[in-house]
């Protein structure tokens, strides 16, 4: 038993001795690798530092390369997040990429301008056109509806009491001509007046009395031809035919066969639709260009491809609150009765303007115009032969009276860039080795078709960019200059600038310099 116990103790001692020996060997190995690795790393670093610190000089046969920065990145003018190492097309919109200035490079530009190479201009497809003076027409588009001409409506009214023994027009919508028979009336008053005419003739009264008797019959509704026929036949007509007072369309029919009508009672209403009114809706911004007498062209969905014409005869003085529009009344000829009341129309009006934005009408310069009929124009003041109203000078209707107006400066609409508050163009700078374009703020006038009238900022003959201006503006923005979307660099406000300006000794409250409290 004692021998067995001693053997076990010896084996336990051997096990612990081997375990501690293995741990010591592993520790030594780890220390060795750590020391050798750090030494190798230090040696490699020292070698690199020595290599970099070793002075280098160009070879005798090599020449130093001139500083000409090459674009390292290419970007899209519409998607600045795109940056590619080579030229090509934008993967989003497909536009040609433009070069971005490398670090430390500077563009040969001046303030608010850009100088680009011929290759860059071709890539941006830049096109220019000269600023010109030419006739400019502001085009307005309006919608409206056809209405009756209120000045061409007449009613056939019973001027004496009587019975309708015959009605020649039996329904509405019939087209009649002036003088066509409408109704036949039996009237004791008409018979009595005819007898009075015969007695006046037999008594051989003076001619004035006879003409008075004839005039009385015509006031009762008889025509001059009917009165002359009565005088020739020398006997009264018991049944008198009343005829249409004007040509047109019968819009209302109140006459009934056998009806006994009283004096002043309407029997028919006739509208002359050979002329109609077109009432157009003009919005507030369009009102400065609308004038009396201007020609208007319009179309109707009922007649595709056909164009009608008319003239402005009245502009209502009150604005409609609901639609914010003003009614513009146009008189239009309608000889074939194609235009019918309540038809919808699409109209267009052109107003010629001069260099100051004044509306001009060349054929009316120095003329006098009838206020109710723009077709009546005279070289001298006087009275309108139709309306008996005094003629008014053309300047009274808002037209410029200059005989030879100055033509306005115009540029294509594609040349103008809008920022909300500003309008700008890019002008080609002459006498430069490379294409150079300067940014220019302009004062815009009205739009004239596919062009804009320029009130300020440009001169005649200057060339403006009409294509590629967005690319130029984007390049200007990339280079850090003021651009369309970043007009002015805001200066930093210092603490000294924030201090209020000192008051003058004599300044009182409310009378100091602007901005002082």
Domain boundaries, the chain: 68-106, 109-133+408-488, 138-149+273-397, 157-270
Q: Spell out the per-residue pLDDT of the chain, length 517, in tens.
A: 566 666 677 777 777 667 667 666 666 655 555 444 444 444 444 444 344 444 444 444 444 444 445 556 777 766 766 878 888 888 888 878 877 655 433 334 345 788 888 888 888 899 999 999 999 999 999 999 999 999 999 999 999 999 999 999 999 999 999 999 999 999 998 888 888 888 787 777 677 788 888 888 888 888 888 888 888 887 888 899 999 999 999 999 999 999 999 999 999 999 999 999 999 999 999 999 999 999 999 999 999 999 999 999 999 999 999 999 999 999 999 999 999 999 999 999 999 999 999 999 999 999 999 999 999 999 999 999 888 899 999 999 999 988 889 999 999 999 999 887 889 999 999 988 889 999 999 999 999 999 999 999 999 999 999 999 888 888 887 776 777 766 654 333 333 333 333 333 333 333 333 333 3
The CATH architecture annotation of domain 157-270 reads Beta Barrel (2.40)
Q: What is the pLDDT of residue 310?
A: 96
Backbone phi, then psi, for 496, in 5-degree steps? -70, -35
Q: What is the pLDDT of residue 346?
A: 97
Give dist(CA 267, CA 483) in Å, integer. Answer: 74
Q: What is the pLDDT of residue 88?
A: 87
* DSSP tag of 181: E
Both structure tokens of 23 = 């741990």
CATH fold, domain 109-133+408-488, is 2.40.420
Burial of 161 (0-12, 13-18, 19+ CB in 10 A): middle
Q: What is the pLDDT of residue 63?
A: 42
pTM of structure: 0.67
Nearest to 446 by CA among 288, 209, 261, 279: 288
Distances (CA, A) of 206 to 35, 137, 198, 210, 211: 154, 66, 13, 7, 9
Q: What is the pLDDT of residue 486?
A: 66
Q: Does domain 138-149+273-397 have CATH number 2.40.30.170?
A: yes
Rg over CA atoms, the chain: 48
Distances (CA, A) of 132 to 45, 411, 429, 451, 463: 71, 7, 17, 11, 9
**Sequence-distant (≥ 6) Cβ neighbours of residue 135 within 8 angstroms:** 352, 407
Give dist(CA 361, CA 311) in Å, integer. Answer: 13
Distances (CA, A) of 251 to 180, 185, 265, 343: 16, 21, 16, 16
């Amino acid at each position: 038993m004692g021998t067995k116990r001693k053997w076990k103790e010896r084996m336990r001692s051997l096990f612990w001795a081997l375990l501690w020996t293995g741990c010591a060997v592993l520790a030594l190995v780890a220390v060795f690798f750590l020391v050798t690795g750090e030494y190798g790393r230090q040696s490699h670093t020292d070698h690199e530092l020595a290599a970099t610190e070793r002075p280098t000089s160009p070879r005798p046969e090599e020449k130093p390369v001139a500083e000409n920065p090459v674009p390292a990145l290419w970007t899209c003018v519409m998607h600045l997040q795109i940056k590619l190492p080579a030229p090509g097309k934008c993967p989003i919109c497909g536009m040609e990429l433009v070069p971005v200035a490398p670090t430390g490079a500077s563009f040969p530009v001046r303030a608010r301008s850009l100088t680009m190479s011929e290759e860059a201009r071709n890539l941006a497809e830049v096109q220019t056109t000269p600023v010109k003076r030419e006739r400019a027409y502001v085009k307005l588009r309006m919608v409206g509806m056809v209405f009756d001409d209120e000045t061409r409506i007449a009613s056939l009214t019973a001027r004496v009491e009587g019975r309708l023994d015959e009605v020649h027009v039996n329904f509405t919508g019939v087209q009649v001509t002036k003088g066509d028979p409408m109704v036949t009336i039996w009237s004791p008053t008409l018979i009595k007046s005819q007898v009075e005419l015969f007695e006046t003739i037999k008594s051989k009264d003076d001619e004035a009395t006879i003409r008075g008797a004839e005039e009385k019959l015509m006031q009762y509704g008889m025509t001059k031809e009917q009165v002359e026929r009565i005088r020739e036949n020398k006997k009264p007509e018991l049944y008198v035919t009343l005829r249409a007072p004007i040509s047109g369309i019968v819009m209302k029919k109140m006459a009934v066969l056998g009806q006994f009508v009283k004096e002043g009672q309407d029997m028919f209403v006739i509208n002359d639709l050979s002329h109609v009114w077109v009432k157009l809706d003009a919005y507030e911004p369009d009102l400065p260009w609308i004038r009396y007498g201007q020609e208007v062209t319009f179309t109707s969905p009922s007649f595709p491809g056909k164009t009608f014409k008319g003239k402005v005869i009245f502009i209502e003085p009150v604005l409609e609150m609901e639609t914010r529009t003003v009614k513009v009344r146009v008189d239009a000829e309608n000889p074939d009765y194609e235009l019918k009341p309540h038809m919808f129309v699409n109209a267009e009006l052109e107003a010629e303007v001069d260099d100051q934005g004044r509306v001009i009408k060349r054929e009316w310069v120095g003329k006098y115009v009838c206020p109710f009929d723009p077709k009546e124009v005279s070289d001298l003041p006087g009275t309108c032969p139709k309306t008996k109203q005094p003629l008014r000078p053309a300047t009274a209707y808002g037209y410029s009276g200059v005989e030879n107006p100055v033509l306005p400066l115009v540029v294509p609409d594609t040349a103008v860039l809008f920022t909300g508050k500003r309008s700008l163009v890019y002008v080609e700078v002459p006498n430069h080795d490379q294409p150079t374009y300067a940014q220019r703020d302009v004062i815009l006038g009205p739009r004239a078709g596919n062009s804009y009238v320029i009130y300020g900022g440009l001169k005649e003959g200057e060339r403006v960019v009409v294509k590629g201006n967005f690319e130029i503006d984007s390049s200007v923005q990339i280079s850090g200059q003021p651009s369309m979307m970043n007009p002015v660099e805001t200066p930093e406000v210092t603490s000294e600038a924030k201090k209020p300006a000192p008051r003058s000794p004599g300044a009182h409250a409310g009378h100091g310099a602007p901005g002082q409290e």
